[in-house]
Structure 1
Amino acid sequence: MACVSRCDRRFLNVILLGFGFMFVFTAFQTMGNIEKTVLDSIQADDPEFRGDGYTSLAVIYAVFAVCNWLAPSIISVVGPRLTMVIGGITYALFILTFLLPKTWLLYVASCVIGFGAAIIWTGQGNYLTLNSDSSTISRNSGIFWAMLQASMFFGNLFVYFKFQGKTHIDHETRMVVFIVLIVLAAVGIVFLLVLRPAERADGEMVGKDTTGPLTALKKAFRLFFTKDMMLLTLTFFYTGIELSFFSGVYGPSVGFTLQIGPNAKQLVGLSGIFIGVGEVTGGLLFGILGHKTIRWGRDPIVIMGFVIHLLSFFLIFLNLPNSAPFQDTNDEAYISSSAYIAMFCSLLLGFGDSCYNTQIYSILGGVWADDSAAAFALFKFTQSVAAAASFFYSSHVGLHAQLAILLVLSTLGTVMFCWVEWRSRARRDGQRSPDLSQVEGSIATKGD
Structure 2
Amino acid sequence: MTPEGKALSNIVILGFGFMLMFTAFQTCGNIEVAHRTVHRCYVALVSFPSMSIIYGVFSASNLVAPSVVAVVGPQLSMFFSGLLYSAYIAMFIQPRVWSFYTASVLVGFGAAVLWTAEGNVLAINSTDTTIGRNSGLFWALQQFSLLFGNLYIYLAWQGHDHISEKDRQTVFISLTVISLIGCFLFFLIRKSDPSEPTPSETSEAPLHTESTDDSVSACKLSVSKEMMLLSLPIMYTGLELTFYSGVYGTCIGAMTRFGHNAKGLIGMSGLLIGVGEILGGGVFGILNNNRLGRNPVVLLGLLIHYLAFYLIFLNIAPDAPQAPEEGTDLQAYMTPNVGVALFCSFLLGLGDSCFNTQLLSMIAFLYKEDSAPAFAVFYFIQSIMAAIAFSYSNVLQLPWQLLLLVVTGFMGTLSFFMAEWGVVAKRRDSDYDSI
Whether the 8 Å CA contact 2:11–2:125 is kept in 1: the answer is yes
- How many equivalent pairs are there? 422
Q: 1:205 to 1:423 in 2, by over 3 A?
A: closer
Work out the percentage of aligned pairs sharing the same amino acid: 43
- Where in structure 1 are there 5+ consecutive unaligned residues? 432-448
Inter-partner Cα distance in structure 2 for 1:170 and 1:340: 31
Inter-partner Cα distance in structure 2 for 1:338 and 1:177: 32
Deviation at 1:169? Answer: 4.7
Q: Which of 104, 125, 130 in structure 2 is aligned with 1:131?
A: 125
Deviations 1:23-73 (A, max 9, x none): 0011112233444444x3256x459x7334111211110000000111110
Q: Which of 172, 179, 187 in structure 1 is aligned with 2:173?
A: 179
Inter-partner Cα distance in structure 1 for 2:163 and 2:89: 17
Q: Which amino acid aligns with 1:312?
A: A
Deviation at 1:123? Answer: 0.2
- Determine the structure 1 residue equivalent to 2:332: 333
Aligned residue for 2:321, secondary structure, equals coil
1:91 aligns with 2:88: no
Q: Which amino acid aligns with 2:405?
A: L
Q: Which amino acid aligns with 2:179?
A: A
Q: 1:418 to 1:35 in 2, by over 3 A?
A: farther
1:221 aligns with 2:219: yes
| TM alignment of 1:22-421, pairs within 5 A | 22-38=19-35, 40-42=36-38, 45=40, 50-197=44-191, 200-201=198-199, 204-212=204-212, 215-291=213-289, 293=290, 295-326=291-322, 327=324, 328-421=327-420
Aligned residue for 2:329, secondary structure, equals coil
Inter-partner Cα distance in structure 2 for 1:14 and 1:133: 13
Deviation at 1:372? Answer: 0.7
Q: 1:336 to 1:166 in 2, by over 3 A?
A: farther
Deviation at 1:165? Answer: 1.1
Q: Which stretch of structure 1 is more off in the superposition, 17-26 or 318-327? A: 318-327
Whether the 8 Å CA contact 2:34–2:267 is kept in 1: the answer is no
Whether the 8 Å CA contact 1:321–1:332 is kept in 2: the answer is yes
Deviation at 1:198? Answer: 5.2
- Determine the structure 2 residue equivalent to 1:8: 5
Deviation at 1:207? Answer: 4.9
Deviations 1:119-164 (A, max 9, x none): 0000000001100010100000001000000110011101111221
Inter-partner Cα distance in structure 2 for 1:251 and 1:362: 29
Inter-partner Cα distance in structure 1 for 2:171 and 2:301: 33
Deviation at 1:378? Answer: 0.5
Q: 1:101 to 1:179 in 2, by over 3 A?
A: same
- Determine the structure 2 residue equivalent to 1:440: none
Inter-partner Cα distance in structure 2 for 1:51 and 1:33: 13
Q: 1:398 to 1:81 in 2, by over 3 A?
A: same
Q: Which amino acid aligns with 1:21?
A: F
Inter-partner Cα distance in structure 1 for 2:288 and 2:314: 36
Q: Which amino acid aligns with 2:29?
A: G
Q: Which amino acid aligns with 1:135?
A: T
Deviations 1:157-181 (A, max 9, x none): 0111122112445544433432232
Whether the 8 Å CA contact 1:33–1:248 is kept in 2: the answer is no
Q: 1:119 to 1:382 in 2, by over 3 A?
A: same
- Determine the structure 1 residue equivalent to 2:433: none
Aligned residue for 1:332, secondary structure, equals coil
Inter-partner Cα distance in structure 2 for 1:320 and 1:174: 31
Inter-partner Cα distance in structure 1 for 2:287 and 2:225: 29
Q: Which amino acid aligns with 1:159?
A: I
Q: Which amino acid aligns with 2:142?
A: L
Q: Which of 17, 21, 32 in structure 1 is aligned with 2:18?
A: 21
Inter-partner Cα distance in structure 1 for 2:359 and 2:159: 40
- Where in structure 2 are there 5+ consecutive unaligned residues? 431-435
Whether the 8 Å CA contact 1:303–1:414 is kept in 2: the answer is yes
Whether the 8 Å CA contact 2:319–2:397 is kept in 1: the answer is yes
Q: Which amino acid aligns with 1:399?
A: L
Deviation at 1:363? Answer: 0.2
Whether the 8 Å CA contact 2:34–2:264 is kept in 1: the answer is no
Inter-partner Cα distance in structure 1 for 2:166 and 2:257: 28
Deviation at 1:83? Answer: 0.6
Deviation at 1:227? Answer: 1.4
State TM-score, norm by structure 2. 0.93
Q: Which stretch of structure 1 is more off in the superposition, 422-431 or 258-267? A: 422-431
Inter-partner Cα distance in structure 2 for 1:118 and 1:162: 32
Deviation at 1:297? Answer: 1.2
Whether the 8 Å CA contact 2:41–2:97 is kept in 1: the answer is no
Q: Which amino acid aligns with 2:22?
A: F
Inter-partner Cα distance in structure 2 for 1:36 and 1:425: 44
Q: Which stretch of structure 1 is more off in the superposition, 334-343 or 347-356? A: 334-343
Q: Which amino acid aligns with 2:211?
A: T
- Determine the structure 2 residue equivalent to 1:428: 427
Inter-partner Cα distance in structure 1 for 2:139 and 2:273: 13
Inter-partner Cα distance in structure 2 for 1:104 and 1:13: 38
State TM-score, norm by structure 1. 0.90
Inter-partner Cα distance in structure 2 for 1:144 and 1:247: 19
